[in-house]
């Protein structure tokens, strides 16, 4: 029996309770979590913006240590430190055949599985495949990535979503080039990672935008050269900071129609607007045909940072070891499992960066 945060049904409060994990079967691995990040996607799953089978254990951004492995597992062994990969590619669907593994048609098939039970015998599903809001989890071996040397195990949880998404949005989707100007909308975990990624890419001016004035120091520490408190004049302010042209690249990490529209409006003629935030079906964004022609901008969606975790994790580890990427700077609160509901409330209120669940039974780091 292990402690976990269970979503009994969509819209219901999370229940911190004991669950029963089975021994890992063929091709599966049991992992003791060191830490798990509380992502806005988890909030979207709990309130029904995104749908998963319930009851479920949420949490998709985590890192930990292998406890045991099932038959046929050869890539990891007990004691290995690993990062959870909530969207493993199947390697055989059309998207995977094109090398677009972040669009894998079968990546989330495991979310429909029954992977554990409550103490009362109720079947549980693994949220986005990996069920990281628990002291331990059992996952397919394909959902694990080996943790590179020199990366602290606890902070490595952030690599599983926030960093791959924010870094990938800048480097893979928007393809920011040295000397360009960038605006990042939303200074949460993903936005902070995008700000650091823009700095790593060599952006000349990096404008952070958020509704909260209190996040300015966070944003500047991550690499922002300018900070704008969101208002109806945001696009005009950003054009004023960029010689009335607008930024070369805008990265939207909020997922609201008004913010997407503002990000588009703040992008220069011929620039690129990348939408990372996950919005609801009710969030309708309107453009007229003439402005699309006139401005010549590119508007693109971005799934998981258009990242290939197996390819990108070693690159991110090199940035971490060199000091270019600071995982700890994304974290504004370290909490226990029962702190998740309050972390959800903080996200709804626009407070803080990433909340990180740290499990007391796991080692906080490992030697480089």
Distance CA 321, CA 265 (A): 37
The pLDDT of residue 280: 87
Distance CA 179, CA 184 (A): 16
pTM value is: 0.94
Omega before 242 cis (within 30°)?
Answer: no
> Which residues, other chains included, contact 274 with Cβ-Cβ below 8 Å and sequence gap of 6+?
169, 173, 174, 249, 250, 251, 252, 300, 301, 302
Distance CA 3, CA 18 (A): 5
Token pair in block for residue 98: 């094109």
The pLDDT of residue 330: 96
What is the DSSP code (8-state) at residue 125? B
> Which residues, other chains included, contact 28 with Cβ-Cβ below 8 Å and sequence gap of 6+?
69, 70, 73, 138, 139, 140, 141
Burial of residue 27, with CB atoms counted within 10 A of its CB: 0-12 exposed, 13-18 middle, 19 or more buried: middle
Backbone angles phi, psi at 252, to 5 degrees: -100, 120
Looking at the chain, how many residues does it have?
Answer: 368
pLDDT in tens, the chain (368 residues): 999 999 999 989 999 999 999 999 999 999 999 999 999 889 888 988 888 899 999 999 999 999 999 999 999 999 999 999 999 999 999 999 999 999 999 999 999 999 999 999 999 999 999 999 999 999 999 999 999 999 999 999 999 999 999 999 999 999 999 999 999 999 999 999 999 999 999 999 999 999 999 999 999 999 999 999 999 999 999 999 999 999 999 999 999 999 999 999 999 999 999 999 998 889 999 999 999 999 999 999 999 999 999 999 999 999 999 999 999 999 999 999 999 999 999 988 889 999 999 997 544 333 33
Give, rounded to a whole angstrom, the gap between the first and last alpha carbons of the chain.
32
Paired residues of 210 in beta bridges: 229
Token pair in block for residue 249: 């690249």
């Amino acid at each position: 029996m292990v402690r976990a945060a269970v979503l009994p049904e969509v819209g219901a409060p999370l229940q911190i309770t004991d669950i029963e994990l089975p021994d890992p079967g063929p091709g599966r691995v049991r992992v003791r979590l060191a830490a798990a990040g509380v992502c806005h996607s988890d909030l979207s799953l709990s309130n029904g913006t995104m749908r998963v089978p319930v009851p479920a254990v949420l949490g998709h951004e985590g890192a930990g240590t292998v406890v045991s492995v099932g038959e046929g597992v050869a890539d990891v062994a007990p004691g290995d430190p690993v990062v959870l990969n909530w969207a493993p590619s199947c390697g055989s669907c059309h998207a995977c055949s094109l090398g677009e593994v972040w669009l894998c048609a079968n990546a989330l098939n495991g979310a429909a599985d029954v992977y554990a039970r409550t103490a009362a015998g109720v079947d549980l599903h693994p949220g986005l495949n990996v069920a990281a809001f628990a002291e331990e989890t059992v996952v397919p071996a394909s959902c694990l990535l080996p943790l590179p040397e020199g990366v602290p195990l606890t902070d490595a949880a952030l690599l599983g979503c926030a960093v791959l998404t924010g870094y990938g949005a800048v480097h893979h989707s928007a393809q920011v080039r040295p000397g360009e100007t960038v605006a990042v909308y939303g200074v949460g975990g993903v936005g902070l990672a995008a700000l650091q990624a823009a700095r790593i890419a060599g952006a000349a001016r990096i404008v952070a935008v958020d509704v909260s004035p209190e996040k300015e120091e966070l944003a500047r520490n991550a690499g922002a050269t300018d900070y704008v408190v969101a208002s109806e004049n945001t696009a005009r302010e950003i054009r004023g900071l960029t010689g009335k042209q607008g930024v070369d690249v805008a990265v939207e990490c909020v997922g609201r129609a008004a913010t997407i529209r503002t990000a588009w409006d703040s992008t220069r003629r011929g620039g690129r607007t990348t939408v990372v935030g996950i919005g609801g079906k009710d969030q309708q964004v309107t453009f007229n045909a003439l402005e699309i022609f006139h401005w010549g901008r590119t508007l693109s969606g971005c799934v998981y940072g258009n990242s290939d975790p197996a390819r990108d994790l070693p690159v991110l580890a090199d940035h971490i070891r060199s000091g270019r990427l600071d995982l700890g700077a994304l974290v504004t609160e370290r909490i226990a499992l029962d702190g998740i509901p309050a972390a959800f409330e903080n996200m709804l209120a626009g407070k803080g960066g990433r909340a990180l669940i740290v499990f007391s039974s796991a080692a906080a780091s490992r030697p480089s």
